[in-house]
């Protein structure tokens, strides 16, 4: 039976500026992903769900309540409108990449407990994924559509 391991790369840009990059698999090491260096930090990303209605998926990233994780929240004004790029890599037993997924999120808040700092994010776009058809929606393709800030016809 083959082993599958998961490494996640956390790239956050707080609304106040700056950028922080962490990975959660290679303990005590700095790893490179696409020629960018990621320091080790213990974190867990979970809670991302998708549904057929196309609602924004919500993900939370949990850090231990340490000085650097509290600083992340302070720099990002409570994690409001921070930009997160979360890359998940599936590794084999030899730690060679099998598959990689990249997701984009926007910060919506944070909370603290005695032991944990929770950063909450929502997806940056609704109902768009790799399977989305590479077409422009026009009246000839779909008929009459409501015109608002979410839909632009060309």
Residue ranges and CATH numbers for the domains of the chain are 5-142 (2.30.110)
Determine the Cα–Cα distance for residues 60 and 44; give it in Å rounded to an integer: 8
Binned at pLDDT 50, 70 and 90, residue 61 comes out as: very high
Rounded average pLDDT over 2-8: 84
Which of the four pLDDT bands, split at 50, 70 and 90, describes residue 62? very high
| pLDDT at residue 77, as a whole number | 82
pLDDT band per the 50, 70, 90 thresholds, residue 115? very high
- Predicted TM-score (pTM) of the model is 0.72
Segment among 53-57, 65-69, 78-82 with least mean pLDDT: 53-57
How many other CB atoms sit within 10 Å of the CB of residue 54?
A: 12
For residue 148, the tally of other CB atoms under 10 A from its CB is 7
Contact 63, 41 (CB under 8 A): yes
So what's the pLDDT on residue 23?
A: 95
Residues 77-100, mean pLDDT to the nearest whole number: 86
């Amino acid at each position: 039976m083959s082993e599958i391991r998961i490494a996640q790369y956390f790239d956050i840009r707080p609304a106040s500026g700056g950028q922080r990059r962490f990975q959660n698999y290679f303990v005590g090491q700095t790893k490179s992903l696409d020629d960018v260096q990621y320091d080790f930090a213990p974190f867990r990303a979970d809670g991302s769900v998708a549904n057929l209605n196309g609602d924004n998926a919500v993900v939370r990233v949990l850090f231990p309540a340490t000085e650097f994780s509290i600083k992340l929240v302070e720099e990002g004004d409570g994690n409001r409108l921070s930009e997160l790029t979360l890359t998940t890599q599936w590794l084999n037993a030899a730690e060679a990449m099998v598959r990689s997924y990249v997701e984009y999120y926007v910060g919506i808040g944070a909370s603290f407990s005695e032991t944990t700092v929770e950063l909450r994010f929502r997806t940056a776009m609704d109902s768009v994924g790799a399977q989305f058809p590479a077409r422009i929606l026009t009246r000839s393709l779909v008929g009459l559509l409501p015109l608002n800030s979410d839909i632009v016809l060309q």
